[in-house]
A and B are shown apart, each in its own frame.
Chain A
Amino acid sequence: MRRGGILTNIALWLIAVFALAPLAWMVSVSFMSPGEASSFPPPLLPTKPSGANFVALFANTDMARYLANSLVLATLATLLSLTFNVMAGYAFAKLRFRGRDQLFRVLLTALVIPAQVAMIPLFLICKSLGIVNSFAGVLVPSIASVFGIFLVRQYALSIPDEMLEAARIDGASEGRIFRAIVLPTLKPILATLATFSFLGSWSDFLWPLIILNDSEKQTLPVALANLSREHVQDVELMMAGSVVTLLPVLALFLLLQRYYIAGLMAGSVKG
């Protein structure tokens, strides 16, 4: 028993090292001086730690702009997703309308279709709407999602009908009920959906790569991919770029991990 416990904990920490080592190494190298990482054996810590790479990154590239682009886009995507998915998820759970269950079933079957199948025509649709190479084009696929509607519906099912009926008898409109009763009740799942939407939008790569051409409109991941092709030798600079790209999402995750992990379980196991 004793030995088993020690072995278990050793194994757990080995996995932890595996999970964290690449990220720790990234942070360490981002503080090294240019060229320092390209030596053997690979240095684990900077000899003279300095923030020069970060200064160079923001001074010599448009990193500040890409960071702003990504922040604006991820925030807008989150707001859109919250508005559209929450309204629909609530209605699918709690309001009655003709064809509701059939419609919901159709939506669920769509989960098996990989998003990339829609991408080429979506590009053509955006082109005919004149929103290629614009933020509107980037945001179009994140307005509503089947997963988001499903997540909210699962949670909204637990709102007691009596509460809604009572409000109706008191003469509250459906909109009022939604704002005053439903939204406050749904708060935890709003946090979950918001985290998913923000992280999803922030990390998205293929769609922004397709829809945006101008370099000043680029999101961080696309910009980072381009930079890393131009600066193959500048390991330290690229690690600083990775830190800038990862810091916001890791911070957000640490802050909201409770909601994020709850959503992950609700979305996968219950279904």
Chain B
Amino acid sequence: MNRERAAWGFVAPALIALGLFFFLPVVAALILSFTDFDIYALADIGNLRFVGLDNYLHLLQTPLFWKALGNTAWFVLLGVPLSIAMSLAAALLLDSKLARFKGILRTVYFAPVVTTLVAVAVIWRYLLHTKYGLVNWVLGGIGIGPIDWLGDPHWSMPAIVLFAVWKNFGYNMIIILAGLQTIPEELHEAARIDGASAWQRLRHVTLPGLAPVLLVVSILTMAGYFQLFAEPYVMTQGGPAESTVSILYFMYEQGFKWWNLGFASAVAFVLFAIMFALTLLQLRVSERWMR
């Protein structure tokens, strides 16, 4: 009896904090999304009205929302595969017996992950400068003309993807490295004795062994890429031509610039629903795959 009370003493503080500052707000967000909460309701809650699905319907008729949705999809579709490929390549190279200085290199690859996003976004904004940027200078060296990375609507999203891949690849690399260590050495050995080439071993031993880890990584990466916000906020302010307005950027502007909090809550829930559905889909597909 006494011990049960002690146990509650240990969990209650954290549970109350989570309940009050996470679970309650999530439920409240759903309710808010059915109201017209705006600057007038912020001043006097008496102005609040329930509007049912109006916010969601209005959302469907807002061109900028579709644009933001498209931009985010573009960012996810381009970024997730690139990110994972980069992480996988780095992990495989680092795991190779031929690799030297593994400890130092692992730390170096991981450094961008711990950097503060805003600070490195500021750096990359200058690296991508059309005239004086290091990226264009390097590209110029191999005969590729100057690209207006952040000023051309066709290039702005790929530029942010390049930056995001740089920032994040070390994170997945660590997880993949851990996964590589769980694949038994005997499997590689057996394949080698059977005369399998390095490429065949990668395809038939390493990648199947990594499948569960790659699933986790792809779900985490996707979730991360859907939450694009600080990059366009710092580097492009959503421009040029709204090409980098992401769903969260749209939510932020609706909520905290125009104070359409009910409408912004609906945006947040649509984002959540999309992420949730895609995660389920990934789990389904992989279940079939792994069988």
Contacts and interface: CB of A to CB of B under 8 A. Distances in A.
B93 A42 contact: no
B116 A203 contact: yes
Given A112-B279, A268-B220, A25 B118 contact: no
Interface string B85-124: 0000110011010111100010111111011111110111
Given A120-B29, A224-B119, A269-B216, A40 B93 contact: no
A65 to B, nearest CB: 17
Interface stretch (B73-81, B167-175, B183-191): B167-175
A95 B268 contact: no
A176 to B, nearest CB: 11
Contact of A19 (B111, B124, B233, B276): B111
B4 A107 contact: no
B20 A96 contact: no
A138 interface: no
B238 interface: no
B251 interface: yes
A72 interface: no
B123 A26 contact: yes
B105 A249 contact: no
Given A22-B120, A39-B132, A225-B233, A15 B109 contact: yes
B158 interface: no
Interface residues of A, number: 97
Given A121-B28, A205-B118, A8 B99 contact: yes
A144 B109 contact: no
- Residue of B118, B131, B220, B248 most packed against chain A (CB within 10 A): B118
Contact of B127 (A25, A91, A92, A95): A25
Contact of A23 (B111, B227, B256): B111
Interface string A115-142: 1111111111101000000000000110
A174 B10 CA distance: 10
A78 interface: no
Contact of A12 (B93, B171, B276): B93
Interface stretch (B11-19, B55-63, B201-209): B11-19
Given A92-B11, A238-B122, 4 more contacts: A20-B108, A22-B123, A95-B10, A178-B10
Interface of A: 1, 4-5, 8-9, 11-12, 15-16, 18-23, 25-26, 29, 37-42, 83-85, 87-88, 90-92, 95-98, 100, 103, 107, 110, 112-125, 127, 140-141, 143-146, 149, 173-175, 178, 199, 202-203, 205-206, 210, 220-222, 224-225, 228, 235, 238-239, 241-242, 245-246, 249-250, 253-254, 257, 260-261, 264-265, 268-269, 271
5 contacts: A8-B98, A116-B271, A117-B272, A141-B21, A146-B18
Give 7 nearest A-B pairs by CB, closest first.
A88-B14, A121-B28, A91-B10, A118-B25, A174-B6, A95-B7, A5-B98
